[in-house]
């Protein structure tokens, strides 16, 4: 039996993960990673105090030790600053992916190792597969709740000690396991906010740190159709929150480009043939691999967003950090700053960050 530190969020997923590992006879300790306390008074709900109470209650119910690890300064340096600098540069960063790489499977994993734990377990919907050579691969979790996309920038040293006790289960099954175990948070709703920050709209969060820079919203012909508060508040493919009405045929505007030099947001009517909205090739940088190096040129699957299917691509890996992707079918709203995850079937190969969209 192993000594395992479980990353407790106060939610049902990590609680069931701890309960299942305890049933298997492992030595379990639960720990809450305190990353954000909203001392600056941002609008929205920051539930860290409630989450700590719930995590502690679950550990007390299970009869295991509970710890709190404060990483607020490190979280600001590694995740919040990354988030804000990305939006200031006009790209769309992904704080959840970076939080996993830098915090949960970074500093938190290092803490677990320093404390003598053999493994770090989380409530992610992912599966590990141990290989004969001692390495570990990551596989997609249960259909409908797979979260491997958010693990796309992890490397082997981070994956090898990671356990995902609920990765083979669908969400309803996790709820049933929570009820069977009698876990206090069995019916608690899932969190929907920014990673560890809570229920706050991204636009409200950004407004606290980045001043408005109003400019024109123009159509493809360069005609002004509205005004924006700042390019950093918009992303490619965005339809809602533009403040520009649909046309008489009910077609909605969608963001197809940003022009920082003119501070213009470019929109067009949404459709399958909208210029600038779809692209077949792009460049991806800052590539990270889960286990084995990616070949110079190979066919694989690429997932450009969390809530979309992975699509066939030919990937030309130019060096260890950059690749040019050629999709078989044009993809909607490929966005600089976002994460592209690479797969071979259900196997997560790694991922990178969109740098340039070629059309």
Closest CA to 153 of 348, 357, 14: 348
| β-strand partners of 199 | 45
CA dihedral for 179, 192, 53, 106, sign (positive or negative): positive
d(CA 100, CA 158): 10
Write out the two tokens for 135. Answer: 């390495």
Which residue out of 46, 59, 195, 282 is catalytically annotated? 195
**Angle of CA points 323, 302, 320, to nearest 5°:** 25
Which residue out of 46, 59, 99, 340 is catalytically annotated? 99
Enter the DSSP assignment of 155: -
Q: Reply yes or no on whether 99 is catalytic.
A: yes
Q: Reply yes or no on whether 46 is catalytic.
A: no
d(CA 207, CA 24): 47
d(CA 210, CA 206): 6
Closest CA to 230 of 218, 217, 246, 245: 217
Instruction: Name the residues annotated as catalytic.
Output: 99, 195
């Amino acid at each position: 039996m192993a000594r395992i530190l479980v990353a407790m969020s106060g939610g049902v997923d990590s609680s069931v993960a701890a309960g299942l590992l305890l049933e298997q006879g492992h030595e379990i300790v639960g720990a809450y990673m305190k990353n954000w306390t909203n001392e600056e008074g941002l609008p929205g709900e920051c539930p860290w105090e409630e989450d700590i109470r719930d995590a502690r209650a679950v550990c007390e119910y299970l009869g295991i030790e509970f710890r709190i690890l404060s990483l607020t300064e490190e979280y600001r340096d590694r995740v919040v600053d990354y988030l804000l600098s990305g939006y200031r540069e006009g790209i769309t960063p992904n704080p959840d992916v970076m939080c996993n790489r830098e915090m949960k499977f970074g500093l938190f994993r290092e803490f677990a190792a320093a404390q003598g734990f053999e493994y770090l377990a989380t409530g992610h919907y992912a599966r590990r597969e141990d290989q004969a050579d001692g390495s570990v691969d990551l596989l997609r979790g249960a259909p409908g709740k797979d979260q491997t996309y958010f693990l796309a920038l992890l490397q082997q040293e981070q994956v090898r000690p990671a356990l995902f006790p609920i990765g083979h289960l669908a969400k309803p099954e996790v709820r049933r396991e929570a009820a069977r175990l009698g876990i206090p948070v069995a019916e608690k709703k899932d969190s929907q906010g920014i990673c560890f920050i809570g229920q706050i709209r991204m636009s409200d969060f950004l407004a606290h740190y980045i001043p408005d820079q109003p400019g024109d919203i123009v159509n493809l012909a360069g005609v002004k159709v509205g005004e924006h508060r700042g390019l950093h508040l918009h992303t490619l493919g965005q339809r809602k929150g533009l403040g520009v009405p649909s046309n008489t045929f009910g077609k909605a505007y969608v963001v197809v480009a940003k022009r920082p030099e003119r501070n213009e947001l470019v929109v067009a009517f949404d459709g399958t043939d909208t210029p600038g909205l779809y692209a077949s090739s792009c460049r991806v940088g800052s590539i990270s691999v889960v286990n084995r190096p990616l070949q110079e040129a190979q066919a694989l699957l690429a997932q450009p967003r969390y809530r979309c299917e992975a699509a066939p691509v030919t990937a030309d890996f130019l060096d260890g950090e950059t690749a040019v992707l050629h999709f078989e079918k044009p993809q909607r709203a490929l966005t600089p700053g976002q994460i592209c995850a690479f797969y071979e079937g259900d196997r997560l190969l790694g991922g990178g960050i969109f740098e340039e969209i070629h059309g």
